């Protein structure tokens, strides 16, 4: 049994494609076996909704009269990048505001804009012959802008490590609040629904892949920053994959604040919940076997976040089913586990995507280029 | 009948007295111990819910203070605003009392005010600021 993108898209256009979420596919494979299920299912949808710090937006404000080459730019007092041409900028999700600090940051500006609110734009310049204006202050909303593209250089981590803390004091991290003495463990990947964990070899994901991004149709622009292909065969017989990320782009004007939400991690800073989903064609039985893997067969590692080094030791391997149980054993003691990404919204995304594919509103796109393999993640060595 | 929530602080020599039994037997109160940090030879702390008639509650509280146990009534409550909540679970990580839970089948956050010991850890831990402290009058 084999399928390709063209064939699957023909079926979608004819309204005949059989589409299931990854969780539904897992159930069908468990009951009917992978052979029968692969004959039946054409498309499997995935979803995730978690904090993804490396996110931001490219905005174009249009030209004022007289025009300005904006140098120092703020939106609701959040500093934006002023090193692009005249009225383009980039606002990063983690940038804290000048007045409210980390309680309001770039992610909040992005969420406010997507929610239809206007924000205060302030910009200044040294003035040039071609751009004489030196200052500007106005209110601006998405509808006033020419382009507003969410452009996130590192999203949808294939498999994020779980976090714990071995010290005597509480740690405030981007993995949430970590209680002393390894009393809790937080994890962020949506397990059986997680896009790249279901396509671990990236057989159907690459540059140009159409994705669900923040409620709109977006695209994979490039391999995400820090992408590496990691694969270990486990002694228990399973596999551990991790390391791939996606750089994604999409039209903010079509997004919904339901799927893009600002986040504040106390003591760490701002981040942004980003909703991403990828529909996968069932290329063959092997691929369906991957797409349908349940939480019991998907693993991550637990790291001690109190080790102030980039090479922290892994404490143990754990399955997503164990993490989902609410408690795991760590060094002989029980630790409470809690997610940081929303399974409820991840499911909504996978279901929404399923519906759009069924209705023919969302076609799959074959990557125009697959990611380069064999790269290693380079550390920053201080010379 | 009403329920009040309070922290009790025991001096060192009081930690082994069966005060809970007394409250139940002699004052007709229902006691629900939500948290207890009581070690022999050390001052102790516990968080309890007391249920009874206004009169019995008053008598019970007098009994406690007569025995050197200081009582701090809770004057705040924790409010979970479901409209702002994305059901991520970050607050569950810090809620050691089990008042906040997120689990199968729907993975929606549930909050049981009865189990809450007002530690306020969740307020800071919530990335969308969906948990607030409400101060009683
Ligand atoms: S204040 Fe919050 S964290 Fe503390 S017990 Fe209550 S609900 Fe749980
Ligand atoms: S941390 Fe906040 S948003 Fe997340 S589940 Fe708890 S209340 Fe909801």
Show Cβ contacts of residue A309 under 8 Å, excluding neighbours closer than 6 positions.
none
Q: Which of A183, A264, A326 sits opposite B127 (nearest CB)?
A: A264
Please judge whether B90 and A176 are an interchain contact, meaning their C-beta atoms are less than 8 angstroms apart.
Answer: yes
Q: How many CB pairs under 8 A join A and B?
A: 79
| Pick from A317-321, A345-349, A373-377: least confident | A373-377
Strand partners, B49: B5, B32
Cα–Cα dist A277/A279, whole Å = 7
Of the candidates A85, A86, A59, A73, the residue with the CA atom closest to the CA atom of residue A120: A73
Span A257-274, average pLDDT: 96
Q: What is the ipTM metric for this complex?
A: 0.93
What CATH number does domain B2-73 carry, 3.40.50.720, 3.40.630.30, 3.30.70.260, 3.40.50.300? Answer: 3.30.70.260
| CATH architecture designation of domain B81-131 | 2-Layer Sandwich (3.30)
- By the 8 A CB rule, do A97 and A90 touch? no
Topology match between the domains B2-73 and B81-131 = yes
pLDDT higher than 70, residue A45: yes
Tell me which residue has tokens 């569950």: B92
A339 contacts B121? CB cut-off 8 A: no
Distance A4 CA to ligand 2 centre (A): 41
For chain B, domain boundaries: 2-73, 81-131
Average pLDDT for A127-149: 96
User: Is the pLDDT reported for residue A319 higher than 90?
Assistant: yes
CA-nearest residue for atom 2, ligand 2, is B126
CA distances from A228 to A113, A132, A204, A312 (A): 33, 47, 17, 18
Mean pLDDT of A58-79: 96
pLDDT score of B137: 39
- Is the shortest distance between the CB of B94 and ligand 2 below 6 Å? no
Considering only residues 106 to 135 of chain B, which have any Cβ-Cβ distance to chain A shorter than 8 Å?
A: 106-108, 121, 124-125, 127-129
Nearest CB neighbour to A343, from listed B107, B121, B128:
B107
The pTM assigned to this predicted structure is 0.89
Digitized pLDDT (tens) for each residue of chain B, 137 residues in all: 888 888 888 887 766 677 888 889 999 999 988 888 877 777 888 888 889 998 899 899 888 888 888 888 887 789 999 999 999 999 999 999 999 999 999 999 999 998 998 889 999 999 999 999 987 53
Q: Is B92 in the pocket of ligand 1 (CB under 6 A)?
A: no
How many residues in chain A?
A: 383
Minimum-distance ligand 2 atom for the alpha carbon of B111? 7
Cβ of A177 within 8 Å of Cβ of B121? The answer is: yes
Contact A262 B128 (CB under 8 A): yes
């Amino acid at each position: 049994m084999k399928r390709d993108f063209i064939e699957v898209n023909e079926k979608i256009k004819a309204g005949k494609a059989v589409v299931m979420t990854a969780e539904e596919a897992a159930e069908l494979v468990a009951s009917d076996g992978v052979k029968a299920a692969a004959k039946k299912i054409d498309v499997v949808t995935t979803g995730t909704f978690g904090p993804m710090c490396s996110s931001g937006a490219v905005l174009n404000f249009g030209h004022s009269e007289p025009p300005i080459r904006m140098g120092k730019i703020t939106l609701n007092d959040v500093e934006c990048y002023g090193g692009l041409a005249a009225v383009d900028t980039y606002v990063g999700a983690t940038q804290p505001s000048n007045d409210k600090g980390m309680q309001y940051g770039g992610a909040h500006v992005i969420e406010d804009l997507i929610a239809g609110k206007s924000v205060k734009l302030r910009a200044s310049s040294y003035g040039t012959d071609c751009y004489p204006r030196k200052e500007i202050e106005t209110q601006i909303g998405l509808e006033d802008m020419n382009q507003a593209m969410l452009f996130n250089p590192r999203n949808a981590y294939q498999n994020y490590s779980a976090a714990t803390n071995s010290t005597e004091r509480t740690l405030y991290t981007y993995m949430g609040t970590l209680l002393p003495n390894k009393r809790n463990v937080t994890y962020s990947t949506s397990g059986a629904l997680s896009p790249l964990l279901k396509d671990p070899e990236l057989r159907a994901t690459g540059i140009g892949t159409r994705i669900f991004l923040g409620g709109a149709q977006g695209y994979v622009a490039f391999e995400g920053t820090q992408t590496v292909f990691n694969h270990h065969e486990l002694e228990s017989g399973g596999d551990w994959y991790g390391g791939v990320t996606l750089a994604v782009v999409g039209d903010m004007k079509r997004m919904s604040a339901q799927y893009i939400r600002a986040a504040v991690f106390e003591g760490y800073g701002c981040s942004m919940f980003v909703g991403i989903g990828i529909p996968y064609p069932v290329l063959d039985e092997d691929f369906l076997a991957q797409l349908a893997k349940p939480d019991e067969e998907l693993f991550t590692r637990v790291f001690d976040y109190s080790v102030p080094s980039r090479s922290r030791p892994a404490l143990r391997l754990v399955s997503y089913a164990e993490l989902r149980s609410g408690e795991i054993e760590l060094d002989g003691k029980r630790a409470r586990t809690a997610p940081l990404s929303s399974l409820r919204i991840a499911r909504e995304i996978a279901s929404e995507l399923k519906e759009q594919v069924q209705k023919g509103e969302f076609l799959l796109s074959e990557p125009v280029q697959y990611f380069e393999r064999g790269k290693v993640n380079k550390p920053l060595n201080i010379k | 009948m009403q329920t009040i929530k309070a922290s009790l602080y025991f001096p060192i020599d009081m930690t082994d007295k069966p005060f809970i039994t007394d409250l139940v037997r002699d004052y007709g109160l229902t006691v629900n111990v939500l948290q207890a940090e009581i070690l022999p030879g050390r001052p102790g702390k516990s968080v309890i819910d007391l249920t009874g008639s206004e009169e019995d509650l008053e008598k019970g509280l007098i009994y406690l203070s007569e025995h050197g146990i200081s009582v701090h009534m809770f004057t705040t409550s924790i409010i979970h605003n479901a409209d702002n909540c994305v059901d991520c679970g970050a607050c569950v990580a810090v809620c050691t009392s089990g008042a906040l839970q997120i689990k199968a089948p729907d993975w929606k956050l549930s909050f049981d005010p009865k189990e809450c010991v007002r530690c306020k850890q969740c307020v800071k831990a919530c990335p969308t600021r969906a948990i607030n402290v409400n101060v009683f009058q």
